[in-house]
Amino acid sequence: MTGEHTPHKLPASAMSLAGTSEMNAVFMRLSKCTDKTPLKLSIGDPTFDGNFKTTEVAVKAFHECTHMPTKYSYQRSWGTVAACNAVAEWWAVNFAPENPAACKAENVVLTTGGAEAIVSSITALCDTNDNLLIPAPGFPAYTFCCDTFGIEKRFYNLLPDKNWEVDLEEVRNLVDDRTKAIVLNNPSNPCGSNWSREHIEAIVKLCEELKLPIISDEIYCGMVFRGQVFTSVAQFKSPVPRFIICGLAKNFMLPGWRVGWIMLVDPAGHATDVLKGMQNLSMQTLGPNTLAQHAMPEILKNTTKDFYARNIEMLEANAKLFVDGLRKCHGLSCAEPQGAMYIMVRIHFDQFKDIKTDIDFYKALEDEKNVQVVPGSYMRMPGFFRICFTRDRRVLEEVMKRLPAFCERHRK
């Protein structure tokens, strides 16, 4: 080639920049505090410190697969038959014993983590300019997906004074002829709540009346504390199509394996075309890694109840440490978490002299005490902040020294 090269800037596509992740801004923010170690309560990764370990069943099953060259090849893009069978059986036995026939292996689509499950279920249902009902507060991935693909977001409120339950009347008023589904998340990120069976049944009945499909993010299925019972939307005999999202990340402490799934509960057969759409979309990634898929039947069938119970016991102890500590913090309050890994903390601004918003609080806390939380505004709930209580006990104890001191410094 000859001639002088003219420098030019290559633009990114509009679609690639349409979604914005305020969570990334939190993770990447640098504290001005230089004399204290950083303590991040913003990351929902239970394995970050190594205190939550996966089951030995998973380690052994994966290791055995690495010695079998036949397990290294490409598989069906939406998951191996054995892995899909294992998911359907695991769900039927543990979370839908009253409705096991609704859990069908042929309706399971494996994905590269729960994040792809969110994108696949939403985009298989929604075209550009359709709308989706999303919880506020809620996990930001739902919003990011809608922004990327030009789907209108319609937020319905979760009620903090009613155990973060869905405002059902608001849902009714938000639905129109372009509403394709409602997103649920229970147990909740970021609220730490676990809805009653009665409330979930009321949601399913409303969706049946409105002919509204459900995308139910149940990644924290079963991760509830003493006195609580988790209820899956799969439990109910209803014609409503339910796209249940889960994976290995939380229950099995395997977030880095990137294995998720969607299980469609569709007894009336309303969503067969959407299932085909999800299977078609799986060609973009060709499914999660095949070694993990081959290990899944062993993991789902043989992980002991003691493993789950031990992790839940640790989570509940960490949650109690935080709740007890927050009671000593001037100007803060919270509801006791019932499950998952999070607490939403309310900030009473009238009790602080110089903090006016949750963004002010999060930035000042990080800059003065090097403690990072997620401001509620980034999850559609201003006036709150979210903490994740999966960090090592020593980290949490240090946080509960710094946080009360910060609140005292800024008290009115």
Regarding beta strands 371-372 and 39-40, do their DSSP bridges make them parallel or antiparallel, or are they unpaired?
parallel
Is 70 exceeded by the pLDDT of residue 2?
A: no
Percentage of the chain surpassing pLDDT 70? 99
CB 191 within 8 A of CB 341: no
CA distance 109 to 192: 27
Least confident residue range of 5-19, 47-61, 67-81: 5-19
297 membership: H or E segment, kind and range: helix 290-302
The answer to whether 278 and 122 are in contact (CB under 8 A) is no
Among the ranges given (19-23, 78-82, 303-307, 385-389), the one the predictor scored with the smallest mean pLDDT: 19-23
What three-state secondary structure class fits 315? helix
Per-residue pLDDT tens over the stretch 249-277: 999 999 999 999 999 999 999 999 999 99
Read off the pLDDT band of 59 (50, 70, 90).
Answer: very high
pLDDT digits (tens, 9 = 90+) for 156-167: 999 999 999 999
400's enclosing H/E stretch is: helix 393-410
In the chain, what are the domain boundaries? 20-53+306-410, 56-302
351 dihedral zone (left: phi>0; alpha: psi -120 to 50; beta): alpha
| Two structure tokens written together for 401 | 């020294």
CB 221 within 8 A of CB 240: no
Q: How far apart are CA 290 and CA 292, in angstroms?
A: 5
Q: Would strands 165-166 and 152-159 be described as parallel, antiparallel, or unpaired?
A: antiparallel
Which residues, in sequence order, are bridge partners of residue 385?
A: 345, 375
Q: 30 falls in which pLDDT band (50, 70, 90)?
A: confident
166, with CB counted inside 10 A (0-12, 13-18, 19+), is buried
pLDDT of 1 strictly over 70? no
Identify the CATH assignment for 20-53+306-410 out of 3.90.1010.10, 3.40.50.300, 3.40.50.970, 3.90.1150.10: 3.90.1150.10
**Whether residue 28 has pLDDT greater than 90:** no
Residue 153: how many CA atoms within 13 Å on its side-chain side?
A: 18
Structure tokens at 102: 């609704």
Q: What per-residue confidence (pLDDT) applies to 3? A: 60
- pLDDT at residue 8, as a whole number: 83
Q: Is the pLDDT of residue 22 over 90?
A: no
pLDDT digits 0-9 by tens, 369-388: 999 999 999 999 999 999 99
H or E stretch at 207: helix 197-210
Q: What pLDDT, in 10s, does the model give residues 80-130?
A: 999 999 999 999 999 999 999 999 999 999 999 999 999 999 999 999 999
Which residues share a beta bridge with 332?
347
From CA 5, how far away is CA 10, in angstroms rounded?
14
**DSSP character for 162?**
G
Length of the chain in residues, anyone?
Answer: 412
How far is the C-alpha of 244 from the C-alpha of 232, rounded, in Å? 9
Q: Write the class of the CATH domain 56-302.
A: alpha beta
| Average pLDDT score over the chain | 95
Segment 220-248, tens digit of pLDDT:
999 999 999 999 999 999 999 999 999 99
Q: Give the pLDDT mean for 322-347.
A: 96
Distance CA(67)–CA(90), nearest Å, equals 26
Within 99-182, where are the H helices? 113-125, 140-149, 168-174
Confidence of residue 325 (pLDDT cuts 50, 70, 90): very high
Task: Give pTM, 2 decimals.
Answer: 0.95
Task: Judge contact between 347 and 331, C-beta under 8 A.
Answer: yes
> Where do the H-state alpha helices sit in 21-167?
22-28, 56-66, 81-95, 113-125, 140-149
